[in-house]
Chain A
Amino acid sequence: MNKYNISALKYNRNYRLSVKVFSTLAVATSLCFPLSLHAEDQSYQSLRDWIDNSRPDAELSPGQHLTIKDRGSKLEALIPHTAWKYYFFDDMDMEITATRDYPAPDHWGKNMAPDYKLDEDATLVGFTGGGFPFPEIKADDSVAGQKVIWNMLWRPGTNDFEMPMVTWLRSESGKLDRIMEYSNTTATYARGDHSLVPGYEEVKSKRVMEFRSPRDMAGAKDMSITYVDHRRENSGWLYMPAQRKPRRTLASERTGELMGMDMIREDNNGFGGKVYENTWEYLGKRKILATINVKTNPEFGGASQWVPHKARWEVRDAHVVLIKPKSDDHPYSARVVFVDAETYWTHWMFAFDKKDDQLFRMNQHFLKYSEDYDKEPPAQAPFIKQDYSKNKGHSVFLHLGQTDINAKKPHATMTHCFTNKKEFTAARAKQFYSLRNMISGRR
């Protein structure tokens, strides 16, 4: 991986040369940039311009704290232009850390079933997990965008955790509209050459989510099953305590906002839809700032308290993928995702309104590497104590939260996750992720 480890490169000649080249380019392009990249411009085109033209030319040092004063010189080239409006604010504080490697689990890629392929519309067929389906992404590959997303969908650490969460829904000026507490528990079934539960080889993963508060939602429970066969629609059930029985849900509806939150199901992890329902374009690699390995769940700042504040950021190489829905009824004209080139976790997602090509929704994710949990454990959930000692040794990222902004409302949903690795036995998984479990809810 071509890392942006600035401290390591500091005295490297090539780096100095790059800085000169970048500086020259920056001066040249700055003549036309001010007109096209106004901070308030959140159009699709302005993001494309930023991706195509803006390149980091400044030196960042580990331990350095970037503030609003560093905006023009350092930050604008590393924070996607569409996010400037929210992420740059007067007392902003971004701690920079060195770019580093995050090794995948030892077994990763060693137990994969070999017979898989992309079909005519780049849908992955026959893949059963255990590694990245496409470890190498080539920029000139006509299906590079899809391959990035397949790697993202099958990345290590996607599942197998118990994740209590707290979500804040805020209007502009930081007005708090609602707080929700819930838990998400997931398990990967498809593990390359075997399934977690023998006999369930068609299942990719299962997830159970249960709301804890507020009371009007407490006990609502949702179970979903995704399948190895991407063309097979997910299955879903919803248990509402008031009804005292689970109800089948329509998993293919992915474009309506959920529970008042500023996200749709398809925004999950940047892209949670069906590959074949979209057209794809690989836009190359970009260096970006990402909260890939934060110390703890970040506090929120900015005028509306929508974005991470005093968090630890790292310069990362990211694949940039443009996704355009084929359906005329889809609310988005385009979606641009920035997926980490080493770990395949999504850092940033921007979706644009079909009506005017302006920003509709965006999300940005906070992660933590499991191997750092012993020396730097993150915060505990406010309502349950987690034993984080189980996390070390898995060599995966754990999701610590995200911010989802709806620019059109405008409104935002900020989430803290308190993730703990959880490995189910086959028998326990069979019972926990079952219709039987759905019929016995909180009440």
Chain B
Amino acid sequence: MFIYRKRFAKIIILLSGALVSSLSWSIVNIGEDVELEGFVKAYNIMKNGASAFHDGELTHQRNTAQLEGKYYFLRDGQMFNRFSSGPIDEATFTFLGRAVYDSAYDIRDSYGSLHDRGKEEYKVREAFVDIMMAPFSLRLGKQQVVWGETDNFRALDVINPLDRTWHGTRESWEDIRIPLWMARGIWDIGKIASFDETFLEIILIPDDFQANKVATMYPRPWAFRGIGLQDEAANSVLIDNTLHDLNVTVIDGAPDERKLSNMQGGFRFKGIWNEIDFSINYFYGFSQTTGVKVRSAGLDDDTGIFNTVVETVNPRINVFGVTASFSEDRYTQSVFRLESTITSGVPVSIAPGAPERANPNDNSFDTARQSVVMIGVDRPTWIPALNSLRTFFISTQFFWRRYLDYNNYYRGSFYDVRPAVVNGSAVPDRFVSVNEDKIDQDEFVITFSASTTYGAAGLWKPLFVFAYDPRSTGAYNKIKMEYLYSKHLVFSAEQHVYWRVNGDDQGPWGLGSYLGESGIRRNETIFTATYQF
């Protein structure tokens, strides 16, 4: 398998090299029907510890080669330029392959314990056929489907899971969504009653369930280790001031993808009514956030070991949502965006010791109903003092998530690993974990971003991002400058900073309230060089 991966990587890199060497234009045509494009990117991340540019360490040197292609095998009712295709007007085949090698793994001795986990990736990420047969169109294959109006927070954009293993959610989601094998059909309805531009979209995912991917193995740079100690795992339980070894058995309860009954699917009806773009969405799937059911937990009197058997579960979810967007040109010169969902089946943990009414199945697990309301505003804005030629694109979002059937025993996923303390003294090499991450019924986050371009040809592209959780007071800032040096070469430098105003609430969003904590802090300086073609 490894050999095949290497071969795939070599093919991508050699093909990229061969193609870019003969380029006169940025995209590559092979004959009249095949187009190729892609990039080779060197992506270097330095983690700055306590403060920017101090305690720095190289965490990633992620080198990526991506090849994207499109084959127009049916145009204007002619297949392969030879055969009449009947009612099919157009058809294309699209693929996107990615090869990744993170050379930090070969530079850092400390990554040796990871046994190359996260070092390489060789994948055909997307491969699908588009068939256009007015008024129907069909996309079959491995693909991404994005619904909703929200940027970078999940409400309706839950069809594809996220791979958060290598850089959390701080990458373009296009690159970290996990494409799934599915069928997506669209019926272009057009005008109907007082609705315009309407279409009905149906998606079907027969047997490709995948949960969000989260790294947990230390010292992966973006491993999710909860709060507290990052380089230790809990191995003990403290009962009545006596320390017991902890033995955890995990049963994988993820849906069996081979069963037809585990199919996922949904529909979207979209259109325009009175200048308002709207959609009504429904998705029936599985939660991509994995929950944990405690099957059994107890002390083995013979061995003195505390045995716990847990089952990971991804419950069925029902997501119902509506979206709207509206361009208000007269008074505010803004585009308003709205998204609202109700989701049932969201997995939550129940705090140990919760009463029976809060933990009726006695497994420290429950599913909840959750609502989301997002209101966003986009505005191209003139700030002549800063840029006299071009507007700033300013985009803000207010995102409110609420547990509808909330109870006080809901717990989140931030476990705190601590040294085991017996009679006031820490016991060497013994660690316990505690979950004090009480979920709030209402969770909020506010985001703001501003971007523009500078230079005669707009080749300098600054971006400023700010996210703030008013409850935990955790915040995140990103400042980025991209420079389009030539049609092929793009450089960028960026700084990510996590911080909080006060308090110790972790908050649910992975902002400064968690990632700004001492020992966890993920302030990063990033340099990227991309050769695109």
Contacts and interface: CB of A to CB of B under 8 A. Distances in A.
Interface in A55-108: none
Contacts of A436: 137, 186, 188, 197, 199, 201, 270
Given A181-B27, A428-B89, A215 B174 contact: no
Interface stretch (A127-135, A184-192, A292-300, A378-386): A378-386
Contact of A179 (B25, B391, B490): B25
B134 A250 contact: no
A213 B487 contact: yes
B190 A212 contact: no
Interface in B27-45: 27, 29, 32, 37-39
Contact of A260 (B26, B453, B490): B453
B132 interface: yes
Interface string A242-254: 1111011111110
Given A411-B456, A434-B197, A250 B24 contact: no
Contacts of A329: 382
B135 interface: yes
Contacts of A427: 134-135
A259 interface: yes
A216 B37 CA distance: 10
Contacts of A257: 389-390, 458
Interface string A170-214: 010000011101000000000000000001100000000000111
Contacts of B272: 435
Interface stretch (B48-56, B324-332, B517-525): B324-332
Interface in B121-155: 126, 130, 132, 134-135, 137, 139, 144-148, 151
Given A212-B27, A251-B329, A442-B70, A430 B277 contact: no
A252 B326 CA distance: 13
B172 interface: yes
Contacts of B335: 247-250
A178 B174 contact: no
B39 A250 contact: no
A29 interface: no
Contacts of B325: 247-248
B254 interface: no
Contact of B32 (A233, A252, A255, A385): A385
A235 B532 contact: no
A243 B151 contact: yes
A383 B146 CA distance: 30
Contacts of B191: 199-200
B487 A214 contact: yes
Given A213-B25, A235-B327, A434-B190, A256 B389 contact: yes
B333 to A, nearest CB: 6
Contacts of B277: 248, 435
Given A214-B487, A256-B390, A431-B135, A250 B26 contact: no
A218 interface: yes
Given A260-B458, A442-B70, A215 B32 contact: no
A235 B24 CA distance: 36
A165 interface: no
Contacts of B532: 214-216
Interface residues of B, number: 69
B137 A178 contact: no
A216 B390 CA distance: 19
B459 interface: yes
A250 B395 CA distance: 12
Most chain B CB atoms below 10 A, which of A169, A243, A435: A435
A276 to B, nearest CB: 13
Given A428-B134, A436-B188, A169 B457 contact: yes
A443 interface: yes
A168 to B, nearest CB: 10
B94 interface: yes
A245 B334 CA distance: 19
Interface in A215-263: 215-216, 218, 233, 235-236, 241-245, 247-253, 255-257, 259-261
A117 interface: no
B385 to A, nearest CB: 14
A326 interface: no
Contact of A252 (B199, B329, B459): B329
A382 to B, nearest CB: 6
A434 B186 CA distance: 12
A231 B348 CA distance: 53
Given A214-B487, A215-B38, A244-B144, A251 B29 contact: no
B188 A177 contact: no
Interface in A406-443: 406, 409, 411, 427-428, 430-431, 434-436, 439-440, 442-443
Contacts of A177: 455-457, 459
B134 A434 contact: no
Contacts of A247: 325, 335, 378
Contacts of A439: 186, 201
Most chain A CB atoms below 10 A, which of B25, B144, B456: B456
A233 B27 contact: no
Given A178-B484, A329-B382, A260 B27 contact: no
B533 interface: yes
B295 interface: no
B26 A244 contact: no
B478 to A, nearest CB: 15
Contacts of B126: 443
B382 to A, nearest CB: 7
Interface in B175-219: 186, 188, 190-191, 197, 199, 201
A409 B382 contact: no
Contacts of B337: 248
17 contacts: A179-B25, A214-B487, A214-B488, A215-B532, A218-B37, A250-B335, A252-B333, A253-B391, A260-B457, A260-B459, A431-B137, A431-B188, A434-B197, A435-B197, A436-B199, A443-B96, A443-B126
Given A215-B37, A250-B379, A256-B390, 10 more contacts: A178-B484, A214-B532, A218-B26, A218-B37, A248-B337, A385-B32, A427-B134, A434-B188, A434-B190, A435-B271
Interface of A: 169, 171, 177-179, 181, 199-200, 212-216, 218, 233, 235-236, 241-245, 247-253, 255-257, 259-261, 329, 331, 382-385, 406, 409, 411, 427-428, 430-431, 434-436, 439-440, 442-443
